[in-house]
Chain A
C-alpha cells in the first residue's frame, strides 16, 4: 500500500466514509499493524491541530476587528491624573503626618486597652506549687544574705507529654517562661531534669528535652494529628492539676480559640491550673491539640492549640529533631478509652518550673 492510498484510507476511516465491511477490515489492519495505528493517531492529531490553528486565526482576526472599533482615547483618559502643585503637596504631607500620628496613637491605645481586658478574661492554667522547694537562684540568695526573703519563691507546674522516643517533650510556653530550671516527673514518680530547646510565643508552645543521662525512652504509642477536628468530636485529656495525673473529657466546641484565635480550638472540658500543656486526644488516641488556658468569665470554656502548630514547630527544628523521631504510627487505635489512658499515662509528665 503506498502512502497516498493509506492517507486516503485513513481519512475516509476517520471521516466515517467507509462501508461497514471496509471499516471492519481497516480496524483489523489497525490492530495487527502498529505502524498503521500510529499513522492514524498522527493523522487525527494533525487534523485537530490544523482545525485549532484555523479557529485561532479566525478568532485573532475577529479580535483585531473588535479592537479597531474601540475608542482608545476615551479609555486611556479615564484614569485621571491630578496634578498637584508643590506647595499644596507640603500642606498635604503635613496633614497626612498629623493624621498618621493620631491614628497610630489611637491604635496603640486601643490595643493596650484590649490587651488589659484580654488578660482579665483569659487565664493560663499553670499551677502555682505550694511546695517548699525553691529555685537555685533563691538558694544562692539565701546564702548571701540570710535576712532577705528569696526573690521569687513561687514555683509553677504544668503538664507535658512526650513526642519522641529520645526524650523530647511538649508543653506550653507560659509554663516554662522565665524558668531557671525545669524538672519533669513521670506518673511513676521518676524525676528528670529538662531544658527548653525551642519556644514559640505566638502559639504558646515550648519543646523540652530531657537532659538526664538516666532517662530511657520508650516508643511513643500515639501520633500527632495535624488535620482539623470537627466541632462536636469527643476529646479527652490527661494532666496534672495536682501531683496525681487526672483524666478529663469533653468535646470540641468551636474551631477558633480565645478572641477568634484561629490557631486554637475552643474545648468544653474541665481544666484546672496545672493542665497547661496537657495533650488533647481524640477517640482514636491521636493528639489533636495542647491545652493552654481557659476563659475566666464563664465556666467550662477551655482552649487548646491545634496540633498543626506543633507540627509546624517540629518541622522548623528538623536539624535537632528529624521527622522520623516524632512521626510514628499510632498503636492506640481500636483500644478502649481505659486502655488508651493506661498506655498514655507513661508519656504524660508533670512539669515543675523553678524561678
Chain B
C-alpha cells in the first residue's frame, strides 16, 4: 500500500480508541459527524436521526477496535460514512417513510457483514439492557460496580453497608443468579 499520511493519522486515532482515550473519541466524532449530518439532512432526515445513526456507527467502530479486529483498509471517514449510509438505507426500507431510495446510496464499501454482525450484537445488548432494568436495587448497582466498574468487593460492601465482604459477595451471587435467569430466558427464546 502506498504511504498515506491520512491513514497514518487515522491509525493513531484508532489506537487511541483502543486505549479508551477520550480525546481520540472526541476527535473522531467531531471530524466525521458533519458529513453524516449533511447526508441525513439531504435525504430529509432530522438532526436526531443523524445523531442516532452516527452514534450507532461509532459503537460499531468502537466495539470492533476493542476486539482488535478492525483493519483499516480505507480511510476512517469512508468507513464511518458508508456504515451510516447502509444503516440509513436500512432505516428507510424498514421504517414507514415512503421515500424512494436514492440511487446514490449505493455501496461505498462492502460493510454488510459488519452491519449484520452489529444487528446481532445489538439484539444481545437490548436483552441485557432489559434484564438489567428488571433487576431492581441494590442488585443492579452491585453488579454494575463489580463487573463493569471493577470495584473490589471490599469497597462495595462498605458502600452498601454490609457487615463484611462475605455477605456482600453472597448478595452479589444471588443477584447474578437472577440476572442469569432473566438474560437466558430472553436470549434463548
User: Which residues of A are interface residues toward B (Cβ below 8 A)?
Assistant: 3-4, 7-8, 11, 42-43, 46-47, 49-60, 62-64, 66-67, 70, 72, 75-76, 78-79
B177 contacts A by Cβ under 8 Å: yes
Binds A, one of B91-99, B124-132, B154-162: B124-132
Return chain A residues, CB-CB under 8 Å to B125: 52-53, 56
A64–B42 alpha-carbon span in the complex (Å) = 23
- Nearest opposing residue in chain B for A60, CB measure: B55
- Nearest opposing residue in chain A for B37, CB measure: A75
A57–B55 alpha-carbon span in the complex (Å) = 12
> B59 contacts A70, CB within 8 Å?
no
> B147 contacts A50, CB within 8 Å?
yes
Contact of A50 among B47, B58, B121, B148 (CB under 8 A): B148
- Nearest opposing residue in chain A for B42, CB measure: A79
> B26 contacts A50, CB within 8 Å?
no
- Nearest opposing residue in chain A for B143, CB measure: A50
A3–B178 alpha-carbon span in the complex (Å) = 11
Main secondary structure of the interface of A (DSSP, over half): helix
> B26 contacts A51, CB within 8 Å?
no
What are 13 A-B interface contacts by the 8 Å CB criterion?
A7-B176, A43-B180, A47-B147, A49-B128, A52-B63, A52-B128, A59-B58, A64-B55, A67-B33, A67-B55, A76-B37, A78-B34, A78-B38
> A75 contacts B34, CB within 8 Å?
yes
Shortest distance between the CB of A116 and any CB in chain B (Å)? 35
Interface residues of B in 1-39 (CB under 8 A from A): 22, 25-26, 29-30, 33-34, 37-38
Return chain A residues, CB-CB under 8 Å to B170: 4
> B179 contacts A50, CB within 8 Å?
yes
Return chain B residues, CB-CB under 8 Å to A60: 55, 59
A62–B55 alpha-carbon span in the complex (Å) = 10
B43 contacts A by Cβ under 8 Å: no
